[in-house]
Structure 1
Amino acid sequence: MKEIEIKSIDDFHKRIEKYRKSSWFKFRGQSDIDWELIPKAGRKPYTNVSDLSLFTHWKRRAITHLKKENNTEWELLAIAQHTGLPTRLLDWTHNPLVAAFFATSENTEKDGAIYIYNPNSVILHETIAPFEIEEKKKIKFHQPNSSSSRIINQLGYFSVHTNPKLALNDKTKDGTLEKLIIKKELKMELMYMLNQYGVNYLTLFPDLEGLSKHLEWFAENYEYWDNTFDEKA
């Protein structure tokens, strides 16, 4: 996997500029550079229970909370994923700024990473259900319907790990995979830039949780905004 270290805000802009004219590339940000590209259902302690079993129980009890009737299996799994259930889905986005947010918003004492993937194929959800994929050693990509406001605002995409313990890496990839390393010293400045561009908790999580997290972050960093303006900058 090709790895590139991002050394400055300008360097970050230059690195992502080449993807501007293509919609094929998918981006994922992780705030700890050592984390594997593996869905929640494939991480301990969630590996003790089948993700299909968890999803089956979730569907039975979630029905009273759903706004829409007759959701597809893909839509239900996406909703479950974005409300915290361990699933075989891993979140990606079309927007590198969204990925940068998730690479910098937590674990400020560790380097983060933005992964850039160009998959060779995408699952057509009209033709197969998420638990009917027979290739158990494959990682597929899926573009979800707009089943939640978070998916819409985050320009969401999913990698589907038929075996949740299977990490996306050089051995399992079916496409090109790159890694941008975000040094821990750059994280806070990148977060301030993203907030100025309208990429923050408030916009990526358009609900009460997102509102509260955004105001919490604003309060924690209140001293940053000093109302000065440098005309020479």
Structure 2
Amino acid sequence: MVKSEFIKIMVVKEINISLQKYFEIASTDLKSDKYIYRGQTNSFLKGGYLEWKVFSSYNRNEQFKKIMFCSFLNQQLETNLFDIYYRNNQFVTDKKLNKLDLRSKLYYLQHYGIPTCLIDFTHNPLVALYFAMSSLNAVGNRNYCREGFPNFYPENCSISIYQINYKVLIEALKLSVISSNLVSEYYGKFQFETNILNKGKKKIHLGIDVFPESNISGVDNFNLKKQEGAFILYDNQRNDDYDLIEFLCDYFYENEIELDEPIVKIFKIKYNELYKSSSSKHPNLKSAFNILEEKKKTGNYLFNDIQGLKYDLIFFNER
């Protein structure tokens, strides 16, 4: 195997594990200071399974396809313009958002449902598990195999939990921390480019804030605090379908950056393992939601707005 191929393989590692094994890993990783996590549900629609790519909500949103994120920041969140446009909005008035610097506004709006080019991560692997489950379809029909395990979905359907070694990521790419000067620095400090054979030149913008709570002033961001949040800024600049993971593979490959271990691990847990058997009392067969609720890592504890209720409601059969 040539060196460049080995580098590419070492960037990302997929790991199929049981729910019980993930909880064991999570209990160890809770003590770690080098990982951040993101949970994604993936899709099971009309009998087909599709793994989601790692995009920002802004890049996924069709309404913003023709508006660059930097322009959005400059035209909507810039202090004077934001105050003129939204000073009479009740939410803005109550939270005094018009008094915040750009970064504080951006972080707050991200955690209260506004699409941005920030991708949410968490320092807590249990929080990532909850969000990985949060877009599952509610399960109405109880169907179990002979061993008492649920049989709601095809066996190939899995949630994905991304574990990123942020210390290696920052060092290898010399990543800049997101600042209130984001607009003026956008095309300098945060711009990256890859030029892979058969793919052509790709430009993206990438930044990070591992401890964003410490960089917010003037507002209490309850959701960010409870979710132990971290942010990766990722803007694929109209390079459709070029997601964060593909960029990292390309960048490490192109620059022949060697790694001692994968910078990204993707833990995959089957949908069916997340649910419990209605007939079993064995503690290992508790549903994932039940376990997370005991650990106070469900929407009821992670949000102080309607988003928590929205997510928890799909687990009504697990109560």
The one-letter code matched in structure 1 to 2:17 is: I
* 1:136/1:163 contact within 8 Å kept: no
Which of 116, 139, 148 is 2:206 aligned to? Answer: 139
Q: Which of 47, 57, 73 pairs up with 2:76?
A: 57
Secondary structure of 2:244's counterpart equals coil
- Paired AA for residue 140 in structure 1: G
Q: 1:207 is aligned with what amino acid?
A: D
Kindly indicate whether residue 268 of structure 2 is the aligned counterpart of residue 181 of structure 1.
yes
In the alignment, is the contact (CA less than 8 A) between 2:56 and 2:117 conserved in 1?
yes
Secondary structure in structure 1 of the residue aligned to 2:212? coil
Pairing 1:42-53 to 2, within 5 Å after superposition: 42-45=59-62, 46-53=64-71
The residue number in structure 1 matching 2:145 is none
Give the counterpart letter for 1:139 in structure 2: L
Amino-acid identity (%): 24
What residue number does 1:130 align with? 182
Contact 2:13 2:264 in 1 (8 A): yes
Alignment equivalent of 1:112, drawn from 153, 156, 159: 159
Q: Which residue of 2 aligns with 1:41?
A: 58
User: Contact conserved, 1:30 with 1:102, CA < 8 A, in 2?
Assistant: yes
Q: Assess, with a 3 A threshold, how the Cα gap between structure 1 residues 85 and 169 changes in structure 2: closer, same or farther.
A: same
**TM-score scaled by length of structure 2:** 0.60
Deviations for 1:26-58, whole angstroms, at most 9, x for unmatched residues?
Answer: 000011161111101111413232223444336
> Conserved in 1, the CA contact under 8 Å of 2:55 and 2:243?
yes
State the shift of 1:20 in Å: 3.2
Residue ranges of structure 2 left out of the alignment (5+ in a row): 1-11, 43-49, 138-152, 193-204, 253-261, 276-286
Aligned partner of 2:248 among 155, 163, 172: 172
Larger radius of gyration: 2
Q: How many residues align?
A: 219
| Partner SS for 2:301 | helix
Q: State the AA in 2 paired with 1:136.
A: Q
Q: Give the distance between the partners of 1:198 and 1:49, measured in 2 at CA.
A: 39
- The DSSP-based 3-state class of the residue aligned with 1:210 is helix
Distance 1:115 1:207 in 2: 26
Corresponding residue number in structure 1 for 2:282: none
- Per-residue deviation at 1:161? 1.5
RMSD: 2.7
